Amino acid sequence: MGASASSSLSLDMTPEVRDSLLSELLAKCEEVLSENPDNRCCKHAIQYLNSDEGKNMSNEDAMTFYKCIRTGVDNPDSGLGCYAMTPTDYSKFGGFFDKVIRDYHGDESGSKKHETDWDTDDADYDVKKLGQDELSMRVRVGRNLLGFNLPGKMSKEERIKFELRMLPAFEQLVEKYGGKVHSLTPDFGDSGANPNLISDEEYKSLVDAHVMFKDMDADPYLKSAGISSDWPYGRGCWQSEDKMRIIWFGEEDQLRIMCMKKGSNLLEVFSNLNEMLSTVESIEGIEFAKDEQYGYVTSCPSNLGTGMRASVHVKIPNLTADGTDAKAKEVCKPLGLSVRGTGGEHTPIGADGTVDISPSARLFIKEKEIIGKLYEGIEKLMAIENA
């Protein structure tokens, strides 16, 4: 069921037409799964479309469900392959999403519930105790607001409305931390000109400095999910005066809120982020979307829960002696750590053996536990590196 067939899905289709199109979608999922057994989207979509819940979807829900799974169908090599279109999709299509989520996040019990907890008490996570000098540290979270569709379902008008909603928050952040908003939105439609619009040259320099995200429209996975639609409307970032705090808006999630710092105490950057989140959510009209089972709502099920990625750059020249991160990944996986290049996913390691490491877990883990696991991971990784 490609884009042409999906266009036949409509609010006024007859039950016979809907059933025929869903049967076509089911057959396509079976075809994809037969050649790509790791495609979780198609694996669980097959079960869902054969269930009473899947068979009894309304026309509107059938249209939304197809949008949720389209990227996994269009891109058969997907490991996950689905995105929520609204904050309520995780419960509305619970028979599908719950299985995908627990499969991906490794909950064999099928009953775990996410808990949020930032309280680290009197923990001491200073890496100087591990013989480390100052490290480049970064913590980021994904957040979405109540009252808006998630990025995959947002229209151009809604993307502009979201950016306008965030402007008072950015004003307060500028008052507190300085800096400025860099927006790619050409205009605000009926609301007039965009005072924060930057040039193509400014955008390129921000991308090169890893301050701003790349053109999402070039990503086939995000494109199929509708997340990159209407580029560049509703896209941009705010960066603080000291360059240590950044908020992306209009990426895979409506907001990617991040703090970075060069230092030895992991709790500094963690506490800075928590403070910034409190500042944003204290503003009238801004409330982050949450799910009772899965915590903070994100577009991709992989980021649900904390929505957090906490990472550090560490030098491991022995484990990267062959010029790749293959050995490091082999060592880090049992420690629950992900390894990336210094520029992010799919980028090379540093010439001196520097890699980016972070705990893999996002869901069914507390925020304070992520920082604890990062410290523990550094300790164990360096013991192997220096053995």
| Whether pLDDT at 102 is above 80 | yes
> Which residue do the tokens 């192997």 mark?
384
Q: Is 8 helix (H, G, I), strand (E, B) or coil?
A: coil
Q: Which of 307, 305, 274 is nearest to 119 (CA)?
A: 274
What the block records as the tokens of 296 is 């903070």
* pLDDT value for 7: 52
* pLDDT value for 256: 96
* pLDDT value for 73: 96
Binned at pLDDT 50, 70 and 90, residue 345 comes out as low
Q: Which range is least confidently modeled, 26-35, 61-70, 197-206, 318-327? A: 318-327
- Which helix or strand (DSSP H or E) is residue 256 part of? strand 255-263
Mean pLDDT value of segment 367-375: 92
Summarize pLDDT for 136-192 with one digit per residue, the tens.
999 999 999 999 999 999 999 999 999 999 999 999 999 999 999 999 999 999 999
Residue type, 238: W
Return d(Cα 74, Cα 164) in angstroms, integer.
Answer: 33
Return d(Cα 276, Cα 176) in angstroms, integer.
Answer: 10
Sequence-ordered list of residues with C-beta below 8 angstroms from that of 1, at least 6 positions apart, any chain: 21, 24, 25, 27, 28, 66, 73
> Which residue do the tokens 């304070």 mark?
368
Mean pLDDT value of segment 337-352: 80
Binned at pLDDT 50, 70 and 90, residue 341 comes out as confident
Mean pLDDT value of segment 273-288: 90
* pLDDT value for 4: 45
Q: What are phi and psi of 46, to 5 degrees?
A: -60, -50
| Whether pLDDT at 386 is above 90 | no
pLDDT averaged over every residue in the chain: 92
> Which residue do the tokens 């520097």 mark?
354
Mean pLDDT value of segment 349-357: 88
Q: Give residue 337's Cα distance to chain centre.
A: 17
Q: Which of 345, 342, 343, 376 is nearest to 266 (CA)?
A: 376
* pLDDT value for 258: 95
Q: What are phi and psi of 248, to 5 degrees?
A: -85, 140
Contact 362, 304 (CB under 8 A): yes
> Measured between alpha carbons, how far is residue 357 from residues 80, 137, 231, 364, 387 in Å?
22, 10, 31, 20, 19
* pLDDT value for 3: 44
Return d(Cα 162, Cα 149) in angstroms, integer.
Answer: 10
Return d(Cα 2, Cα 25) in angstroms, integer.
Answer: 9
| Whether pLDDT at 130 is above 60 | yes
Q: What angle do CA 215, 221, 224 make, to 5 degrees?
A: 100
* pLDDT value for 6: 52
More confident residue, 280 or 201: 201
DSSP assignment of 294-357: TEE--SSGGGTBT-EEEEEEEE-TTTTTTSSSHHHHHHHGGGTEEEEBTTBTT-PPPTTSEEEE
Return d(Cα 238, Cα 341) in angstroms, integer.
Answer: 25
Summarize pLDDT for 3-48 with one digit per residue, the tens.
444 557 788 888 888 899 999 999 999 999 999 999 999 999 999 9
More confident residue, 236 or 343: 236
Q: What are phi and psi of 139, to 5 degrees?
A: -130, 135
Mean pLDDT value of segment 218-228: 93
Return d(Cα 272, Cα 206) in angstroms, integer.
Answer: 22
Binned at pLDDT 50, 70 and 90, residue 351 comes out as confident
Handedness of CA 224, 226, 230, 232 (dihedral sign): negative
Cβ neighbours, 10 Å, residue 60: 11
What the block records as the tokens of 358 is 């972070």
